[in-house]
């Protein structure tokens, strides 16, 4: 009997809060599209022919194909379980609050329990799929292989939750709906601190390239000249010894900036799934890669990314404050007198889950555009330094191209084969 009453109540909420229903439909649809695209990627991978412009044995190629195909199949389940986990969490919040209230736990403690649970959930799920957390403050992502239970990752998720929940709790208490101003202010401050700390720690870890023994004097001379012409200091380019694979990235905040290249990029990188291949770049190519990173700094890509992140988080926060300001008892299962902050928390969790895929899609679109811009900068300033070779070599490690639809949904950078082709054509036209 009570069950049917609950169902009836849920239906009343669906009719009364049409925006909430629309948000959920939007979120579920985007989730389904992502999984469908995963499946298409799986089919595409299985029939992808060996490219004829790279040197790889049939066996190695077959093995790469098999791995990629099984990876895309796994993504379907990983994505489904991580998003499903979040869905279970948001639907169980009203029940959890109800249960805690019955046990006599006060709302302030319930709020803390919810924060703890989301922290654990985020930690667990971050391994399965990059959750929507504050924008990571760098241009080229380098930490994809990060371990879950690692101080950096834990601190990141802890901060993501605390920096939203704690201000929201107090600002609502004092200012109710108008408290969003305080929360938004806090989002801005929190983002700036986060990026500042990130740049500081990267600067501390990087070995200035002029002091790095693995680079030739000729490279250093060229680089010094290039950096001077492009308004960068020598101390702002360094080498990172951190086991992050062959990579480079740039980060900046209003003139406080750093470019790093990883040691593997300079010394060579053994392909873990193909012992016959080692990625080995010439110093010219490394110089070209550095020019790409200078491009990120010149275009202020990190600052733009932070601004975008602040705008999105703020818009969501304002929406949560306004849309979830009604009496909690209007929503099924929240009893009369439940503190408004618990409803806010619930609202924020719903938004996070429902907007995960749409925001990911949009952010990745922007990210790929930035990468193309940085490549343009490379071509215009150092286009004849064989930058294309990096992509040519990367294609030996990842020889199976993604389905372009899948790449649009998941790629942080334009496809390597397209970037290589673009640079090849540019070279033909401009270099001797």
| Residue 413 C-beta: closest distance to Zn ion, Å | 7
Write the CA distances from 48 to 69, 137, 402, integer angstroms: 10, 35, 9
Q: Of the listed pieces 50-58, 140-148, 212-220, 262-270, which binds Zn ion according to CB under 5 A?
A: 140-148
Q: Which residues pair with 269 in a beta bridge?
A: 279
| Residue 227 C-beta: closest distance to Zn ion, Å | 17
Site for Zn ion in 232-291 (CB under 5 A): none
Which residue is nearest to Zn ion, using beta carbons?
140
Token readout for 349 is 């969790």
Nearer to Zn ion, 344 or 378 (CB): 378
User: Which residue among 114, 121, 128, 140 contacts Zn ion (CB under 5 A)?
Assistant: 140
Nearer to Zn ion, 371 or 389 (CB): 371
Q: Of the listed pieces 103-111, 137-145, 196-204, 219-227, which binds Zn ion according to CB under 5 A?
A: 137-145
User: Which residue among 125, 265, 289, 374 contacts Zn ion (CB under 5 A)?
Assistant: 374
Q: How far apart are CA 399 and CA 277, in angstroms?
A: 12
DSSP calls for 309-376:
HHHHHHHHHHHHHHHT-S-GGGSTTPPTT--HHHHHHHHHHHHHHHHHHHHHHHHHHHHHHHHHHHHH
Nearer to Zn ion, 157 or 419 (CB): 419
| Residue 412 C-beta: closest distance to Zn ion, Å | 9
Q: How far apart are CA 306 and CA 195, in angstroms?
A: 8
Site for Zn ion in 195-214 (CB under 5 A): none
Q: Of the listed pieces 100-108, 136-144, 319-327, 383-391, which binds Zn ion according to CB under 5 A?
A: 136-144
**Does residue 194 contact residue 228 with C-beta atoms inside 8 Å?**
no
| Residue 226 C-beta: closest distance to Zn ion, Å | 17
| Residue 251 C-beta: closest distance to Zn ion, Å | 11
- CA-based nearest residue to 97, from 350, 371, 328: 328
Site for Zn ion in 392-421 (CB under 5 A): none
The verdict on 128 binding Zn ion (CB under 5 A) reads no
Q: What angle separates helix 340-382 from helix 301-323, to the nearest 10 degrees? A: 160
| Residue 376 C-beta: closest distance to Zn ion, Å | 11
- Long-range contact set of residues 26-34: C-beta below 8 Å, sequence gap at least 24: 26/354, 26/358, 27/353, 27/354, 27/355, 27/356, 27/357, 27/358, 28/354, 30/356, 30/357, 30/358, 30/361, 31/79, 31/83, 31/356, 31/357, 33/357, 33/409, 34/79, 34/357, 34/409
Q: Which residues pair with 109 in a beta bridge?
A: none
**Cα-based angle 294, 299, 303 (whole degrees, multiple of 5):** 105
**Does residue 119 contact residue 158 with C-beta atoms inside 8 Å?**
yes
| Residue 269 C-beta: closest distance to Zn ion, Å | 18
Q: Of the listed pieces 274-282, 327-335, 371-379, 402-410, which binds Zn ion according to CB under 5 A?
A: 371-379
Residue span 312-351 as binding mask against Zn ion, x where in contact by CB under 5 A, dash where not: ----------------------------------------
Q: Which residues pair with 270 in a beta bridge?
A: 278
Token readout for 34 is 């992502």
**Does residue 129 contact residue 82 with C-beta atoms inside 8 Å?**
yes
Nearer to Zn ion, 140 or 261 (CB): 140
Q: Which residues pair with 292 in a beta bridge?
A: none
Q: Of the listed pieces 32-40, 195-203, 261-269, 364-372, which binds Zn ion according to CB under 5 A?
A: 364-372
| Residue 391 C-beta: closest distance to Zn ion, Å | 12
Q: Of the listed pieces 2-10, 231-239, 353-361, 368-376, which binds Zn ion according to CB under 5 A?
A: 368-376
Nearer to Zn ion, 167 or 305 (CB): 305
Nearer to Zn ion, 371 or 420 (CB): 371
Total number of residues binding Zn ion (CB under 5 A)?
3
372: how many CB neighbours lie within 10 A of its CB?
16
| Residue 139 C-beta: closest distance to Zn ion, Å | 5
Mapped onto helix, strand or coil, the DSSP state of residue 249 is: strand
Nearer to Zn ion, 140 or 286 (CB): 140
| Residue 302 C-beta: closest distance to Zn ion, Å | 11
| Residue 128 C-beta: closest distance to Zn ion, Å | 25
Nearer to Zn ion, 342 or 374 (CB): 374
Instruction: Give residues with Cβ within 8 angstroms of 347, minimum separation 6.
Output: 320, 323, 324
Nearer to Zn ion, 97 or 289 (CB): 289
Q: Which residues bind Zn ion (CB under 5 A)?
A: 140, 371, 374
């Amino acid at each position: 009997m009570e069950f049917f009453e609950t169902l009836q109540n849920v239906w009343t909420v669906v009719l009364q809060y049409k925006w909430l229903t629309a948000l959920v439909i939007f979120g579920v649809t985007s989730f389904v599209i992502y999984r469908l695209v995963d499946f298409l990627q799986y089919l595409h991978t299985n029939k992808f022919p060996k490219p004829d412009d790279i040197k790889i044995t049939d066996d190695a190629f077959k093995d790469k194909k098999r791995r990629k195909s099984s990876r895309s199949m796994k993504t379907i389940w990983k994505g489904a379980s991580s998003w499903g986990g979040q869905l279970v969490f948001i639907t169980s919040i009203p029940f959890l609050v109800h249960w805690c209230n019955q046990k006599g736990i006060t709302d302030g403690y319930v709020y803390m329990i919810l924060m703890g649970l989301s922290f654990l959930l985020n930690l667990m799920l971050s391994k399965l799929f990059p959750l929507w957390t504050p924008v990571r403050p760098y241009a080229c992502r380098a930490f994809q292989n990060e371990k879950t239970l690692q101080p950096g990752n834990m601190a990141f998720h802890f901060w993501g939750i605390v920096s939203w929940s704690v201000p929201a709790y107090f600002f609502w208490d004092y200012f109710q709906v108008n408290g969003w101003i305080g929360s938004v202010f806090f989002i801005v401050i929190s983002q700036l601190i986060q990026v500042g700390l990130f740049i500081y720690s990267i600067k501390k870890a990087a070995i200035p390239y002029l002091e790095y023994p693995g680079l030739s004097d000729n490279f250093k001379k060229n680089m010094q000249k290039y950096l001077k012409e492009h308004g960068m200091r020598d101390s702002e380019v360094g080498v990172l010894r951190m086991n992050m694979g062959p990579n480079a990235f740039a980060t900046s905040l209003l003139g406080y900036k750093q470019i790093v290249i990883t040691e593997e990029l300079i010394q060579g990188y053994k392909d873990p799934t193909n012992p016959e291949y080692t990625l080995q770049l010439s110093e010219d190519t490394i110089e070209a890669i550095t020019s790409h990173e200078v491009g990120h700094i010149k275009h202020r890509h990190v600052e733009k990314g932070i601004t975008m992140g602040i705008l999105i988080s703020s818009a969501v926060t304002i929406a949560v404050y306004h849309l979830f300001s009604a009496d909690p008892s209007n929503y099924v299962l929240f009893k009369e007198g439940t503190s408004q902050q618990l409803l806010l928390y619930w609202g924020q969790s719903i938004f996070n889950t429902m907007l995960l895929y749409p925001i990911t899609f949009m952010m990745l679109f922007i990210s790929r555009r930035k990468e193309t811009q940085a490549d343009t900068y490379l071509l215009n300033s150092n286009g004849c330094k064989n930058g294309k070779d990096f992509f040519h070599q990367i294609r030996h490690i990842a020889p199976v191209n993604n389905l372009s639809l899948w790449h649009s949904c998941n790629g942080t950078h334009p496809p390597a084969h397209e970037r290589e082709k673009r640079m090849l054509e540019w070279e033909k036209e401009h270099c001797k």
